Structure 1
Amino acid sequence: MSDQDAMRQGGDTLLPPVFNAFCDFEGLPRECAAWPVSESHSGGGTQTCLRDMHHSLRTAAAHGRWHWPERPVVFISDPHADAESFLRSLAAAGTIRRIDRGPRDFILTGFGQRARIVVGGDCLDKGPSNLDMLDALAALFASGAEVHLLAGNHDLRFMLAVQALTGPRCPLTEHLFVRMGRKTVPLLREVWDRFPAADLMADLPDEATCRTRIFPGTDWEARFPGRAAAHLSQKAIAKELTRLRSKQDQFDSEIAKAGMTMRMVYAAALMCRALFLDPDGPYAWFYARMDMIHQSGSLLFVHAGLDDAMCALLAEGGAGAVNARFRAEARQDPFAFYFGPVANLVRTKYRDTDKHLSGTGVRTLHAQGVKMVVQGHVNNHRGQRLLAKRGLLHLEGDVTLDRASRLLEGLPGIGTGATLIHPSGDIVGLSSDYPAAKHFHPERPSWNEAMA
């Protein structure tokens, strides 16, 4: 069956109609082509990578047939505080019709009412519109759409940093606020501008004292390694020290560019605690509705990836057990949580310093029916990628949506893209940075023959 023949399979088109009002969809592909898995921008790019992908498909098939979601899934990840790119991506996937230009000005389409929308994490940081992004996401929940919100490393890092700055001070956590670096400064500035953070200034100490509270102590580098040894390897500790040195200079520079003082930053952080972490805060829903993983049939949706411990927990109690552990640990010990196995789900790139995914973990997942991970976290410049990692098939769905990243990385305009997964098993990668919608079906003999 050709990609064009597959367009009508199962009663749904692979590319639902797009409603162009209030959106510029120039460059967005409207035709499918075979997913170019042999190319580095869409797959691994080498014969070894192709063999690894074929092997992962073959071993997954040995555990039975694929089980596909009973309704279409739309996966959008890493909007990074670009509300416009998020709304354009929803519209490009055919899930919403925009009725004006505001973050709440849209209605669900018929396809949007049928679809399951998975937001793959990293809604915060970078900019230009953190609060508008959250308002758009809140409106999507309110629209009646089935939405699953996953945690991203930037989302959790912000939560933990605010906890650390406004809670008891200790060597493991006193650097976490500055560790966020320049990417979170736009959010602090937005909170200062939109909410009455200035009202808190009267109760704050002077500039020098606020700076002392925000930055780690002068002896932090001496105190940190001994306390962190229970959680991190020596290599990871060294990496954390190096990262913090560069982040401190970045933070100072970006705060100055944003026209803020350290007193303003501290007041904005206190306001963030009230907005996001207090149970009745206007953005408390953001973390309350957040999960670590979502499983739908043979697909596991997660921001970054897995390790053996999370594979075992998933096998023992399903996605519910993993998400329950996330909620139990997220607000206890910020450092132990962020560098532990649960938060590894939002951080890992399968580096030596990350928690390990071995063949045992992959076999555990295959035995539970999980055949592919759909993730964000690794941003790509020419649409989505398919490749095997540690023997497990991964679909990378971060297509560089936000304008801050696109400007830094030489990509034009506002990013638009989504991954669509149909009940028929047809998978479509849609991106304004690639001329065709990439089409893949893991059970089609032609795919296995092409990669053999």
Structure 2
Amino acid sequence: MSRSALAVSRPSRDPHVPRYQGAEFCELPLPQTTEPWPKHKRLRDAAIEDYDASLRELRYRIGERPFVWPNRTMYFFADIHADADAWRRSLIASGGVRWLGHADDAYELTREGKRALFVIAGDCFDKGPSNLRLLRAIKILIDKGADVEILAGNHDLRTLVGLAYMGRKEPRFAHLFVRMGKKTMPLFEELRREYLEPDDASELSEAELHELLFPDERWFAEFPGEAEGLVPDKKIAKELKRIREKMVELPQKCEELGLSLAHIHRAAEKARELFLHPGGEFHWFFERMDVARRWGSFLLAHAGVDDVTAKLMARDGVFGLNTWFHRLLADDPFELYHGSVGNTFRTKYREIDHPFTEAGVRDMYEAGIYGIVHGHKNIRRGHRVLMREGLLNFEADCSVDVNTRRVEDIGGLGYATMVFRPDGVALGISADYPHVKVFEAERVFPLLTIA
């Protein structure tokens, strides 16, 4: 009997599972098996709500569109929320890096990673254990030569405008510092720990600081008129209520951290120096940020779209949307945060959000955009794919940072990435699902073009 006949056959490796390199530094098992995404039948989650759409629904509602799929790998990450360890695990899960040790910089790009686009789709700030460590870890990826796209998230912009307009008393600006809320206070604690002496505090009194940083009763009277026509009425009422709540929560969080308003104000001044000044250590983060990116027939964004932004993209493309974003960022952060551009990083398609109707769908089709890849929603069974109005939506698993997982009672550590491959396949990889989800575009789009 020949040697070959006696050889023990080995199971073949599933070609859709990424070649994880450095899995021993992931701390969690990485999925080794695959399943079709979506399955033939509609799936529902534990709350008996729709999870993935069915394959039949996708074919029926979007399948006739001439979908363009880029012939380049793209790694999509969202809502890392100040958790550098979740970031490391997500990078390893993507297959775009080869991890070599325990440090945040102990890795190199794989051959695929060197050619790929890494998209960080918003919300790097708040919730997690260390904002500054995560930002430094992202900068390491950039410095290693990766092509990195940073998109705006609501938490990122809330931090930026809160710092930029701290102390301004005009109706459009007076609430923006408080609007950052208690979730931003740990950032100031980090800044104090790393950059300031323990007794380094503002020289203003608590009363003076309260007057400087918090909106007064005149603001509550003037804000509805200032917001009328830009912010839906229901959202105005909600904003007023939420600001009053945050005015109570913020000092409580300071006390919990053992800090006074004087400590927070001094840390916020240091944050402005680090984030807003051209020579600041983290100035690069907001400097290179856009609100959206075109990826074939996909729009990449933090949250979604509305009718106004859809119409703009039909006329001026995604470039026009980003141009509008940067203009508002410089000139009118109030309109940026509350208007249609802000809807791109805030919407959850609720009644209080700017509407997205059939007219918006038609404009997206006119722009050649038939799908959106986004984050912004906490989901529990890994990434999901569904139809929203007439657009294909890939929703990223956004429950990766350790504190979100504790608050949402998910437990354990997290990681998540979506990999869009140049062969028309998308992979959904998450700590919260045991298999790699495999979306094969040709199963949905008979007119698929890879270019």
The alignment's TM-score, normalised by the length of structure 2, stands at 0.90
Q: Check conservation: 1:96, 1:112, Cα contact below 8 A.
A: yes
Amino acid at match of 1:270: E
**Residue correspondences, number:** 434
Distance 1:365 1:223 in 2: 36
| Partner Cα separation in structure 2 for residue 190 and residue 70 of structure 1 | 41
CA 1:125–1:360: 2 relative to 1, 3 Å = same
Correspondence for 1:112: 113
Q: Which has the larger displacement, 193-202 or 320-329? A: 193-202
For 2:44, give the aligned amino acid: S
Aligned to 1:124: 125
Task: Return the offset for 1:221.
Answer: 2.1
Equivalent residues in 2 for 1:18-29, closer than 5 Å: 18-26=21-29, 28-29=30-31
* One-letter amino acid of the structure 2 residue matched with residue 17 of structure 1: Y
Give the letter aligned to residue 442 of structure 2: E
- Structure 1 residue matching 2:166: 3-state secondary structure: helix
Task: Tell me the distance in 1 between the aligned counterparts of 2:226 and 2:116.
Answer: 47
Report 1:257-406 matches (<5 A): 257-406=256-405
| Alpha-carbon spacing, 1:62–1:368, altered in 2? closer, same or farther (3 Å) | farther
Over 3 Å counting, the alpha-carbon distance change for 1:277 and 1:46 in structure 2 is closer
Aligned to 1:39: 43
Matches within 5 A, 1:5-84: 7-8=14-15, 13-26=16-29, 28-36=30-38, 38-41=42-45, 45-46=49-50, 50=53, 54=56, 57-64=59-66, 66-84=67-85
Whether contact under 8 Å (2:125, 2:131) holds in the other structure is yes
Distance in 1 (CA, whole Å) between partners of 2:225 and 2:139 is 42
Unmatched runs of 5 consecutive residues or more in structure 2: 1-10, 447-451
Q: CA deviation at 1:402?
A: 0.5
State the alpha-carbon separation in 2 of the partners of residues 201 and 445 from structure 1: 59
Distance in 2, Cα, partners of 1:279 & 1:96: 30
Q: Residue 442 of structure 2 corresponds to which residue in structure 1?
A: 443
| Amino acid of the structure 2 residue aligned with 1:33 | E
State percent identity of aligned pairs.
36
Q: Which has the larger radius of gyration?
A: 2
Equivalent runs, 1:96-245 vs 2, <5 Å: 96-166=97-167, 168-196=168-196, 201=201, 204-245=203-244
CA distance in 2, matches of 1:105, 1:275: 25
The alpha-carbon distance between structure 1 residues 6 and 293, as it changes in their structure 2 partners (threshold 3 A), is: farther
Q: Distance in 2 between matches of 1:256 and 1:305?
A: 36
Q: Write the distance in 2 (CA, Å) between the matches of 1:59 and 1:134.
A: 40
1:336, distance to aligned residue in structure 2 (A): 1.7
Say which is worse superposed, 114-123 or 357-366, in terms of deviation. Answer: 357-366
Residue 7 (structure 1) shift: 4.9
Greater CA drift, 376-385 or 105-114: 105-114
Q: 1:136-157, CA deviations, whole angstroms, 9 ceiling, x for partnerless residues? A: 1101111111111111000001
Q: TM-score, normalised by structure 1?
A: 0.89
Q: CA RMSD in A?
A: 2.5
Q: Which residue of 1 aligns with 2:433?
A: 434
TM superposition shift of 1:196: 3.2
User: Partner amino acid for 2:77?
Assistant: I
Compared CA separation, residues 233 and 142, structure 1 to 2 (3 A)? same
Alignment partner of 1:423: what SS?
Answer: coil
3-state SS of 1:201 partner: coil
- Unpaired segments of 5 or more residues in structure 1? 448-452
Q: Distance in 1 between matches of 2:197 and 2:209?
A: 15
C-alpha distance in structure 2 between counterparts of 1:369 and 1:443, whole Å: 18
**Greater mean alpha carbon deviation, residues 356-365 or residues 281-290:** 356-365
The amino acid that maps onto 1:40 is R
